[in-house]
Structure 1
Amino acid sequence: MLIKPLGRRPYADTVDAMRAFTEARTPDTPDEIWLVEHDPVFTQGLSGKPEHVLDAGGIPVVPTNRGGQVTYHGPGQVVAYPLIDLKRLGIYVKEYVYRLESAVLKVLEARGVTGHRVAGAPGIYVRLDDPFSHAMLTGPMPADDPFRGLGKVAALGIKVSNHRTYHGVSLNVAMDLSPFTRINPCGYAGLATVDLATLGVPADWATVAAQLGDRLASQFTP
């Protein structure tokens, strides 16, 4: 497993490079994990609806071939792109998503933050009133506000082509969160978005990127 910290890269160029890598790889090509920080950009997934972009302002909106709806990438956010051969690893997409989320949960746990999964809404969430509480989410979320009391700290958007993955997961570290108010994040109106800094957890991009890369590698190494 090769972990590649790529630093600050344009979004569109990175997607082109991932697609080229995926199309060119053979059954013997080693898996890789790319760790990137992007310039400000809204990305619109295959299920994206224009009305979920409320006011892009001067931030570009880029259509992309990952699953899901609109999200934001920007400085201070770690974006991890696992380029994994699922067939060789012997897992399916549902297990792949579970392992992506597990890696994020482990990174948060190491900093005392308790992350949560929400059924039907990929990504990782925290309790806004007490992100350090170990209490589990209990009972169904209210239909009129399924994210009541929660903030999203990590988003998922993946593409699988011939059993090979690209795109991936983003974890908010210390960023300007205001662009998230210009969209309905992941298609959910009013969904709060947080980062580690907002939660009172000091962290720098390089350290969190390295930790997330290691956790992802442990999830996807046979």
Structure 2
Amino acid sequence: MHSSSVLPPLVIRTLGHMDYLATWQAMQAYTLSRTEESADELWLTEHAPVYTLGLNRREVRPPSRQDIPLIEVDRGGKITYHGPGQVIIYALIDLQRLGISVRSLVSMMENSIIELLAEYNIPAQARADAPGVYVHDAKIASLGLRLKHQRSYHGLALNIDMDLAPFLAIDPCGYQGLQVTQTRDLGLTLTPEDAAQQLLDKLSRQLGYTRAIVRHSL
């Protein structure tokens, strides 16, 4: 594991509402143009309603509603939904430089969410068979990553205060009948902004960073 003192500071980008396709293309471009000196980055954003279908497309039922676009993407996993009121953090991390595996990065993301919910007395768990975070068997956060040259992109989506109905039109992450929940339905009066800030802090620490530079655009 490298000492954080020799790493460039983590860059946190708070991007506000972003077009999904443009964000995905920007993640790909950053990952492909990175050098050994490039900073790791966390991108905080929110998307208009969109279904995304990962690389594991076998036996995935298409959405039963056509009013929300479906985009085939290059992350792992199957189908999920993104929409307003969901905290999305994309993790653009050089795994080799940090000396971590992709499984470790997934665990760091899951543990950051579990730690956040635990502070509000909500017990949450990760599952070995289905990446993500669950509260009483209902999924509250989804995860999906892509690696190029041991550098990651894509990331996590935590449901805070959103319309969950679009999840009913799909088998979330490929699981028929999987229940989905959010912090609002668990009695938390947590805004997406507050949840995002707390989650960014926790994930930064999980990654071993003590310094971060905040930027508000790409």
Q: After TM superposition, is the score higher than 0.5?
A: yes
Partner residue in 2 for 1:81: 90
* SS of alignment partner, residue 192 of structure 1: coil
Note if contact 2:47-2:83 (Cα within 8 Å) is conserved in structure 1.
yes
User: 1: distance between equivalents of 2:14 and 2:44?
Assistant: 5
Superposition deviation, residue 58 in structure 1:
0.4
For residues 56 and 163 of structure 2, what CA distance do their matches in structure 1 show?
25
Segments of 5+ residues of structure 2 without an aligned counterpart are 1-9, 210-218
Structure 1 unmatched ranges of 5 or more: 128-149
| Aligned position for 2:24 | 15
TM value normalised by structure 2: 0.89
Q: TM-score, normalised by structure 1?
A: 0.87
User: Paired residue for 1:26?
Assistant: 35
Aligned to 2:6: none
Aligned length: 200
Q: Distance in 1 between matches of 2:132 and 2:75?
A: 14
How far off its partner does 1:111 sit?
Answer: 1.9
The one-letter amino acid of 2:36's match is P
Tell me how large the CA RMSD over aligned residues is: 1.1
| CA spacing shift, 1:12–1:50, aligned 2, 3 Å | farther
- Specify which of 190, 193, 198 is matched with residue 211 of structure 1: 198
Q: What is the percent sequence identity of the aligned residues?
A: 42
3-state SS of paired residue (1:58): coil
What's the secondary structure of 1:14's corresponding residue? helix
CA distance in 1, matches of 2:32, 2:49: 27
Q: 3-state SS of the aligned residue for 1:168?
A: strand
Which portions of structure 1, spanning 4 or more consecutive aligned residues, are displaced by more than 6 angstroms?
Answer: none
Q: Which amino acid aligns with 1:91?
A: I
1:56, distance to aligned residue in structure 2 (A): 2.9
Alignment of 1:153-172 (within 5 A): 153-172=140-159
Question: Of 69, 84, 87, which residue of structure 1 is paired with 2:78?
Answer: 69
2:124 corresponds to 1:115: yes
